[in-house]
Amino acid sequence: MICVENLTKTFTLNTRSKKDRSHKVDPRQHDGVFNALTDVSFHCERGEVLGLLGPNGAGKTTALRILSSALKPDSGAVRINEVDVVRSPLLAKQKIGFLSGKTGLYGRLTARENIEFFARLHGVNDEYLATEAETIYRNLGIVHYLDRRVEHLSTGMQQKVSIARAVIHKPDVLVLDEPTTGLDIMATEIILEFIQLMKEQGTAVIFSTHHLDEVAMLADRVTVIDQGKSAFSDSLQAFRELSADRDLRRSFMHVLNLEKAYVASI
């Protein structure tokens, strides 16, 4: 369904960035550039959920922004079936639903107006909005909030509206960047149930998270990004088996320790 191969991405550091990073030891920074991604590969099939893990600053968000076509990689490929995301970003946008770390909603518009505005950008017709879209609203628990201004909604409700906006055009791939961060238990539960529903409907879902219980609950595959490259990418079962007691936290630390040992040896 979606295949990510050997992504690299480098950013040129300005003078301020160089000073900010001068006290940090980061092997990805060389000669005024920062190598955010050096080799990231993974894949997710239809009806699968991939949990994307990694320390803060590892490159997860950069990788996800490339998937959404918001960033162009220096090299590598992203394909959704036959569509090359890098070469055909407009076509790719029709196949991808993307939720970034910030909601990006228009505060003075209502929840419904936000969702329908983005729906029409994707060519969604009025008949669909009047019928099938209601199912999305019910599944996310936002029916009673649709005609309120977004600026008056809670953080959790804004997040659910953002997810509705991301899936309103029935994308083949749903990409979520830390969708439950900062949310209460009830909002988190609704979002996790919605991800499970997307999976059951055949959507390929990629979500980054720091919560290993979410990975245990939902993921079929796991990818760990560290120091800008894929340190692990395989099934959830294979990830569990990295630790003797199949504990995901120990498996995660095992991957990072192996990666650090490799970096230190070169």
- Where do the structural domains in the chain lie, given as residue ranges? 2-99+171-265
Please give the average pLDDT of every successive group of 10 residues along the chain, which has 266 residues: 95 68 66 91 97 96 93 96 92 92 85 95 89 93 97 95 95 96 93 97 97 97 96 97 96 86 51
Instruction: Pick the closest to residue 166 from 131, 190, 136, 143 (CA basis).
Output: 136
Reported residue count of the chain is 266
Statement: the pTM of the whole predicted model exceeds 0.85: yes
Residue-level pLDDT at 266: 45
Residue-level pLDDT at 1: 86
Spell out the CATH class of 2-99+171-265.
alpha beta
Q: What is the DSSP secondary structure assignment for residue 143, as one 8-state letter?
A: G
CB 53 within 8 A of CB 215: yes
- Directed axis angle between helix 155-167 and helix 111-121, to 10°? 20
- Determine the Cα–Cα distance for residues 237 and 228; give it in Å rounded to an integer: 24
Specify the amino acid at residue 221: R
Rg for the chain, CA atoms, rounded: 19
Q: Are strands 75-80 and 83-84 parallel, antiparallel or unpaired?
A: antiparallel
